[in-house]
Structure 1
Amino acid sequence: MTLFDVLDATWPAAASHMAGGFRIREGRGGGSRVSSASLEVPFAEADIDSAAAAHRALGQPPKFIVRPGEEALDAALAVRGYEPFDPVTIYTAPLAALADNVPPVTAFAHWPPLAITREVWDSCGIGPSRQAVAERAPAPKVAILGRRQDRAAGAAFIAIHGGTAMLHGLVVLPAFQRMGLAAAIMAEATRWAKAEGAETLALVVTRANGPANALYTGMGMQPTSHYHYRREASE
């Protein structure tokens, strides 16, 4: 099992289909991760056209995830004019090494998500289509609501697959940022995952998100892998 297997299991596409040597994820508006094509067999350049056609048949633009060791795919997509975007780092840490002391009345785990949790996600760009991805994930899973100044101020989603707890959708409302709420949500995620018997915490974050990268490295999480996407260049 790889971290990419954990990603697929804890943030699942609505459906997937094989086209040539690529797995085509049907995202239904859930974002890049659940609407990308991934290489599942040894690379053959002709399969790119099959994958692109399958994407279009689903009504979504062709988009490919490029993982470590897939340099030939990356080069072939570049030659065809596919532009790179959203380079991502995958962080992991043993749960035993992470703090789980949650300040009182700052973060709590629950499922299904409360209406106020959904409102926080909505306000931060995680709308119904992305929330539907969390609904599809199998248990064990949980939403986390973060509070500051007696208000709902942050949210996250976490699910477990194969002993690894993967965090998704961590957001803090702009008015409550830099108040330690993200760290409190992470502590609650750690507490819940330990209680569920997970051994590792993992998450993904874009390299451009400096504050998030600083938070995770400050917690003791380590960059373990990476990937990026390629899509057809905009006209």
Structure 2
Amino acid sequence: MMDNRPTDDRLFATINATWPAAATVKAGPWLLREGRGGGKRVSAASAFGDWQEDDISAAEKAMQLMGQTPLFTLRPEDGKLDETLAEMGYTAVDATVIRLVRARDLTDRPLPRVCAFTIWEPLAIMREIWEVGGIGEARQAIMERVSVPKTGIFGRVSDSPGGTAFCAIHDGICMLHALEILPHQRKKGLGGWMMRAAAFWAVANGAEWLAILVTKGNVGGNALYASLGMEIVGEYHYRMLPQREEA
């Protein structure tokens, strides 16, 4: 295991800082997030205090007023809330792990020439690649509102555009998000080189660690990150209230 690795609280603070909700509000025992179409990570409520079942109903109403389906994020210590939501009919979705490596460990090889570049603002082709991967305007808006050090990564392979990613640094941790490789450019090693490009940028900007979030079901992604020595150091999942069909 890695010595002196960041605590879970530090890792989750980095998630919030490097992929922030449009707005947050503390209400009772909850931190409520307004996602504005940016996906689960920026829309889910999380508990930070003691709660009662009536508090869940209040959180549901608040999220519905935001125009959002009731959704909670659950860390391992949220076992009781997880059980209660399951009993209320909430469905578990998107079990996710946090993978981590010392950034300098991925700077042991020089990047191939004209392989991966760090750049901000994103080039038009980077935005197009994100769009192909389902990372549209609402998720790209998340990147724009990040206030900590950040960059995009543009990857090339076979003498043509291949992929893109976003990363940002908080509290000594560089977290990479939105890694997308064009379908016809996959299985050429580009993902690994883009992770290494992120590591070089992280070290140059004072970060000790490189982290990424990946769903447990993403077999290819987990294999790549494991091959780079990125260990699983945390996890979370969501519970979502299924939308009822109108009669």
TM score, norm. by length of structure 2? 0.92
1:154 is aligned, of 160, 163, 166, to 163
Whether the 8 Å contact between 1:83 and 1:230 is mirrored in structure 2 is: yes
Whether the 8 Å contact between 2:104 and 2:200 is mirrored in structure 1 is: no
User: Is 1:36 aligned to residue 44 of structure 2?
Assistant: yes
Match of 1:49 in 2: 57
SS of the counterpart of 1:46?
A: helix
User: Is 1:220 aligned to residue 220 of structure 2?
Assistant: no
Match of 2:16 in 1: 8
1:185, distance to aligned residue in structure 2 (A): 0.6
1:71 is aligned, of 79, 85, 110, to 79
User: Is 1:110 aligned to residue 119 of structure 2?
Assistant: yes
SS of the counterpart of 2:77?
A: coil
Match of 1:130 in 2: 139
Number of residues of Structure 1 aligned to a counterpart in Structure 2: 235
Output the CA distance in 1 between the equivalents of 2:223 and 2:200: 21
**AA aligned opposite 2:57:** D
Q: Deviations over 1:84-110 (max 9, x none)?
A: 000000011111222353111111000
Output the CA distance in 1 between the equivalents of 2:162 and 2:52: 47
Output the CA distance in 2 between the equivalents of 1:93 and 1:38: 26
Output the CA distance in 2 between the equivalents of 1:139 and 1:103: 28
User: Is 1:204 aligned to residue 213 of structure 2?
Assistant: yes
Q: Deviations over 1:6-54 (max 9, x none)?
A: 0000000000122321111000011100000011112322211111111
1:170, distance to aligned residue in structure 2 (A): 0.4
SS of the counterpart of 1:122?
A: helix
SS of the counterpart of 1:69?
A: helix
User: Is 1:18 aligned to residue 26 of structure 2?
Assistant: yes
CA RMSD in angstroms, aligned pairs only: 1.1
**AA aligned opposite 1:93:** V
> Taking every aligned residue pair, what percent have the same amino acid on both sides?
46
Alignment of 1:161-172 (within 5 A): 161-172=170-181
Output the CA distance in 1 between the equivalents of 2:34 and 2:69: 11
**AA aligned opposite 1:35:** S
Whether the 8 Å contact between 1:45 and 1:73 is mirrored in structure 2 is: no
1:142, distance to aligned residue in structure 2 (A): 0.1
**AA aligned opposite 1:132:** A
Gaps of 5+ in 2: 1-8
**AA aligned opposite 1:131:** Q
Whether the 8 Å contact between 1:55 and 1:62 is mirrored in structure 2 is: yes
TM score, norm. by length of structure 1? 0.97
**AA aligned opposite 2:23:** A
Q: Deviations over 1:153-190 (max 9, x none)?
A: 10000000000000000010110100001011101000
Whether the 8 Å contact between 1:43 and 1:72 is mirrored in structure 2 is: no
SS of the counterpart of 1:30?
A: coil
SS of the counterpart of 2:111?
A: coil
1:65, distance to aligned residue in structure 2 (A): 0.2
1:234, distance to aligned residue in structure 2 (A): 4.3
**AA aligned opposite 1:17:** V
